Every structure is written in structure tokens, then in C-alpha cells.
């Protein structure tokens, strides 16, 4: 029998972190600023803080599952192993919404901002050019993606710190040092919980990179240790940048208005730093969007690979790894073709579908931890807190955010789930036979797994 070509295990802790940050891309804050500002009625700081709380509990669940089940596939693999293969299939199916639409968001924003700068070049030209370039680099290998991501992520972090420094400088020279310290962005008489939660349901998109890290388990050195650490480090970095930036914007510009939500960041940066900062912003944002697109293509191709390897999707195509580049080339091409949808849909629609897919997967990862807790008869009091109480809070929080998504998004998401249900019925012949499954890695049983975290 011909030996299956497998993924190559080369990624270190900081390479994984930078790939996660690249998928999140810190500058995505500006790409979705207008949509997020309107969705939260201007209460961005509180919305981001709420999103941080939601993802911390869920991030803990991902860390636990990544330690117990160090296999690529993210929530799909976790649900399949911890709950039931049929549930895993549906979780993987809905997670595809997240992963397929993520590169689309990168392409849309790339086209919007470059067309705004160079109107003579149509948006679709920029989109197609980015898709081709991302595919070429992703095919070359995950190490290339990680090394490029590190450079561009550092550029983004530096810009966001400089941007906040501009705002702080303006506050110091207008209202004095006392204006820098205020609770107004966090607690406001005009603020309401429904508005903050509605905003959180949008900005949670900014914290989804920890999910993509778990798709890289089989390409990561010592994944049981590396992936959990990477998850919390990445959430901390994103939280610091996004909450901090929101705080300074709300403090310095409490009555901010803009003409177009899609390109509101251009107006914002122009107000804060003039044409000089605006030109730097465009350069860094383009690099950021490129990085996010690269990480997104890398991640979706790995999820498709795992589902193909398990024969959930046609194995001949989706389970193929190129013997030279050690990358799932066919999946990268498929993801790139689907990314052409960026020419036809809005960034608002794309973000909402990403959030539906991600939040649904987050909910089930929390359920996975709870399921393994009840299967493990040797649980301690500490284990009860980290493996039952925390994931229960995380699941409840995520369910609440899901309920706040707009009606068309929920209907569209449920329609996608229904299509997956029909496909599942076909694969199982009306549930009379199990899903096809190919085991490559022996997974620890709940009794054997050590307590995570």
C-alpha cells in the first residue's frame, strides 16, 4: 500500500502565535471599525471587553481540548472524538462557514482600501490579484506563511501603539493628563447591556485566531504544550491592543461620525494624524490584510484536509498532500476559487457569517470539555472548575452572542447547517452506518488524559 503523505511538524510556539495573530490580524480592528462602531452604538470599549470575557472561557476550553486531542481539525475533531462522529461532522460543516469566509473578508477589505487609494483600478482587479498571490505562497509551505506573518504582525502592533500615542498626545495637549484616565468608555449612563452585547457579537470576530491554531496541531512541535500556551498569549495580545485602542478613540473622539462604514477607518486615521499617518496606515493595513488572507487560506486548507483525510469529503482530492511542498495544494486552490465571492458580497455579510460559524463551533468546544468531564471518573474539585463550570459559562456566553446575530444571518447559517444535515444523511445512509473514518493518531482516552490547565 502506498504510504500517505502527512503534514510536516516544524512550527514553534511563536510561529503558531504569529499565525494566530495573522489570522486575527491586529489591524482587522480598523478593517471592521465602521461596522463595529455602528453595531455597538459607539460603545466599542465595553463591547470589546465583553468579547474578551466570552473568548477567555472558550479559549480555556480550546486549550484543554488541544492538550487532550492534539490532532488538526479544531472543533470538528474535538466534537468528533469527545461527543460523536455525527456531531463532529456537523460542527466541522458549520465551522467551514468561518474558515471559508475569512479569506473572503481579507479580499474584500483589500479591494475596498486599495480602490479608495487608486480609483482607476477596479476593486475586482485587486481582489483577484490578492487571491492568486495568497495561493502561491500558501502552496509553498506553512513555514513561509509563519515567517511572513511574523514580520507583518509586528508592523501592525507598532502602528496601533503609534496610533494610540497620537490620540494620547492630543488629549494631553487639550485637556491635560487627567483626561487620559477615565471610566467613561467602560461605564456610561447611555450604555445598555443589549447594545454592548450586540457590539460584542460583531467584534468577537477579532478574537477567532485561537481556533485556527488548533488546525496546526500536526504541524506543531510538542502541540500539547505549545497550542494551549499560544492560545492564551494570543488572546492577551489582541485584548490589549483592541481594548486599548477603543479606549483612546472613545476618550479622545467621543462624538465621532463618518460617512461610509466600510472605509470609516480612513476617515478616523485622517482625523487623528492627517495625511502622513493616513499614508502609513494604508501601507500597514495592506500588509495586515495580506497576512490575514494568507493565514486564512492556510487554515481553511487544513480543515478541508482533515475532513478529506477522514473521508468525510472525497479523500482523493481533499485528503491529498503534495509530496514535495507537504501542503494540501488542492484545498488551497478550492479555497482560492471560493474567495472570488469577495467580488459580489459586502464585508458586513461576510463578518456575520464568519461569526455564526465560529460562535457555533465555540459553543460545541465548550460542550466537548463538559462531556469529557463527565466521562472522566477521576475528576478533582479543581477539574470541576476548569472542566465543567468554566466551559458552562463559556457555552452560555457564546449562546447569548449567537442569539444576538441578525435574523438573515441566523437563517443563512441554519440553511447551511440543513445542507450539511442532508449530506450527513447521505454519508450514513439515513444513519444506518457510521461515518467513514481513518485514524492517524492515537488519542488519549478521558481517563488517561491528564488534567489540562
Q: What is the mean pLDDT of residues 303-319?
A: 88
State the average pLDDT for the chain.
85
What's the pLDDT tens digit per position in 329-350? 999 999 999 999 999 998 888 8
Domain ranges of the chain: 13-428
Q: Give the pLDDT confidence score for residue 93 in this predicted structure.
A: 93
Q: Give the pLDDT confidence score for residue 291 in this predicted structure.
A: 80
Backbone angles phi, psi at 429, to 5 degrees: 50, 60
With a cut of 80, say whether residue 415 has pLDDT above it.
yes
Q: What is the mean pLDDT of residues 74-79?
A: 86
Q: Minimal CA–CA distance to 24: which of 229, 258, 236, 291?
A: 291
Burial class (CB in 10 A: 0-12, 13-18, 19+), 223: buried
Q: Give the pLDDT confidence score for residue 356 in this predicted structure.
A: 92
Q: Give the pLDDT confidence score for residue 333 in this predicted structure.
A: 95
Q: Give the pLDDT confidence score for residue 436 in this predicted structure.
A: 82
Query: In which residue are the cell numbers 474584500 written?
Result: 108
The answer to whether the beta carbons of residues 205 and 230 sit under 8 Å apart is: no
Q: What is the mean pLDDT of residues 54-77?
A: 86
Q: How far is CA 316 from CA 89, 150, 300, 319, 321, in A?
A: 19, 33, 17, 6, 10
With a cut of 70, say whether residue 3 has pLDDT above it.
no
With a cut of 90, say whether residue 246 has pLDDT above it.
yes
| Low-confidence winner among 20-29, 38-47, 227-236, 237-246 (lowest mean pLDDT) | 20-29
With a cut of 70, say whether residue 4 has pLDDT above it.
no
Q: Minimal CA–CA distance to 205: which of 383, 339, 23?
A: 23
| Report for 78-82, 197-201, 297-301: range of highest mean pLDDT | 78-82
With a cut of 50, say whether residue 230 has pLDDT above it.
yes
With a cut of 70, say whether residue 441 has pLDDT above it.
no
With a cut of 70, say whether residue 443 has pLDDT above it.
no
Q: Give the pLDDT confidence score for residue 237 in this predicted structure.
A: 94
Q: Distance between CA atoms of 264 and 311, rounded to whole angstroms?
A: 44
With a cut of 70, say whether residue 34 has pLDDT above it.
yes
Q: Give the pLDDT confidence score for residue 9 in this predicted structure.
A: 77
With a cut of 80, say whether residue 306 has pLDDT above it.
yes
Q: Distance between CA atoms of 61 and 47, rounded to whole angstroms?
A: 22
Give DSSP secondary structure letters for 79-121. Answer: HHHHT-HHHHHHHHHHHHHHHHHHHHHHHHHHHHHHHHH-TTS
pLDDT > 90 fraction of the chain, expressed in percent and rounded: 37
With a cut of 70, say whether residue 178 has pLDDT above it.
no
Q: Distance between CA atoms of 177 and 353, rounded to whole angstroms?
A: 42
Q: Is the pTM of this model over 0.75?
A: yes
Residue 324 CB contacts under 8 Å (≥ 6 apart), including other chains: none
Q: Give the pLDDT confidence score for residue 448 in this predicted structure.
A: 43
The answer to whether the beta carbons of residues 304 and 110 sit under 8 Å apart is: no
CATH code, 13-428: 1.20.1740.10
Q: Give the pLDDT confidence score for residue 198 in this predicted structure.
A: 85
Q: What is the mean pLDDT of residues 135-155?
A: 77
If one compares 164 and 258, the residue with the highest pLDDT of the two is 164
What's the pLDDT tens digit per position in 89-123? 999 899 888 889 989 988 998 998 888 888 999 99
Q: Give the pLDDT confidence score for residue 144 in this predicted structure.
A: 58
Q: Give the pLDDT confidence score for residue 117 in this predicted structure.
A: 82
What's the pLDDT tens digit per position in 182-194? 888 888 767 888 8
Q: What is the mean pLDDT of residues 318-326?
A: 87
The answer to whether the beta carbons of residues 263 and 33 sit under 8 Å apart is: no
If one compares 123 and 381, the residue with the highest pLDDT of the two is 123
Q: How far is CA 272 from the centre of its chain?
A: 28
Q: Distance between CA atoms of 392 and 396, rounded to whole angstroms?
A: 6
* DSSP run (H or E) holding 446: none
Backbone angles phi, psi at 320, to 5 degrees: -85, 135
pLDDT > 70 fraction of the chain, expressed in percent and rounded: 90
Q: Minimal CA–CA distance to 301: which of 103, 167, 168?
A: 103
Amino acid at each position: 500500500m502506498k504510504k500517505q503523505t502527512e503534514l510536516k511538524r516544524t512550527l514553534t510556539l511563536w510561529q503558531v502565535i504569529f499565525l494566530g495573530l495573522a489570522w486575527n490580524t491586529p489591524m482587522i480592528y480598523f478593517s471592521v471599525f465602521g461596522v463595529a462602531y455602528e453595531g455597538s452604538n459607539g460603545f466599542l470599549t465595553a463591547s470589546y471587553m465583553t468579547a474578551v470575557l466570552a473568548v477567555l472561557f472558550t479559549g480555556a476550553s480550546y486549550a484543554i481540548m488541544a492538550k487532550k486531542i492534539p490532532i488538526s481539525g479544531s472543533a470538528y475533531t474535538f466534537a468528533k472524538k469527545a461527543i460523536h462522529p455525527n456531531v463532529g461532522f456537523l460542527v466541522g460543516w458549520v465551522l467551514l462557514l468561518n474558515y471559508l469566509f475569512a479569506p473572503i473578508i481579507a479580499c474584500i477589505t483589500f479591494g475596498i482600501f486599495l480602490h479608495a487609494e487608486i480609483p482607476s483600478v477596479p476593486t475586482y482587479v485587486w481582489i483577484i490579484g490578492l487571491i492568486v498571490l495568497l495561493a502561491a505562497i500558501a502552496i509553498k509551505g506553512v513555514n513561509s506563511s509563519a515567517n511572513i506573518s511574523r514580520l507583518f504582525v509586528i508592523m501592525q502592533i507598532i502602528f496601533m501603539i503609534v496610533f494610540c500615542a497620537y490620540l494620547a498626545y492630543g488629549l494631553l495637549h487639550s485637556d491635560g493628563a487627567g483626561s487620559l484616565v477615565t471610566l467613561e468608555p467602560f461605564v456610561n449612563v447611555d450604555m445598555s447591556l443589549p447594545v454592548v452585547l450586540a457590539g460584542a457579537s460583531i467584534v468577537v470576530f477579532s478574537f477567532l485566531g485561537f481556533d485556527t491554531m488548533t488546525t496546526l496541531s500536526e504541524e506543531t512541535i510538542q502541540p500539547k504544550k505549545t497550542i494551549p500556551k499560544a492560545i492564551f498569549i494570543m488572546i492577551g495580545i489582541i485584548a490589549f491592543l483592541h481594548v486599548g485602542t477603543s479606549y483612546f478613540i472613545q476618550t479622545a473622539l467621543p462624538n465621532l461620525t463618518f460617512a461610509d462604514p466600510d472605509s470609516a477607518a480612513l476617515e478616523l486615521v485622517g482625523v487623528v494624524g492627517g495625511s502622513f499617518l493616513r499614508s502609513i496606515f494604508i501601507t500597514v493595513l495592506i500588509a495586515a490584510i495580506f497576512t490575514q488572507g494568507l493565514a486564512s487560506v492556510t487554515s481553511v486548507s487544513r480543515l478541508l484536509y482533515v475532513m478529506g483525510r477522514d473521508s468525510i469529503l472525497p479523500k482523493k482530492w481533499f485528503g491529498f498532500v503534495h509530496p514535495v511542498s507537504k501542503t494540501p495544494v488542492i484545498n488551497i486552490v478550492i479555497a482560492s476559487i471560493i474567495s472570488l465571492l469577495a467580488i459580489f458580497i459586502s464585508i458586513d455579510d461576510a463578518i456575520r457569517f464568519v461569526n455564526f460559524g465560529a460562535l457555533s463551533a465555540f459553543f460545541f468546544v465548550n460542550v466537548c470539555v463538559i462531556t469529557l468531564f463527565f466521562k472522566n471518573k477521576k475528576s478533582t474539585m479543581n477539574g470541576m472548575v476548569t472542566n465543567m463550570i468554566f466551559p458552562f459559562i463559556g457555552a452560555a456566553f457564546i449562546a447569548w452572542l449567537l442569539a444576538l446575530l441578525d435574523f438573515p444571518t441566523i437563517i443563512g447559517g441554519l440553511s447551511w447547517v440543513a445542507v450539511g444535515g442532508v449530506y450527513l444523511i447521505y454519508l450514513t445512509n439515513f444513519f444506518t452506518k457510521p461515518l467513514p473514518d481513518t485514524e492517524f493518531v492515537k488519542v488519549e482516552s478521558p481517563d488517561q488524559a491528564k488534567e489540562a490547565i
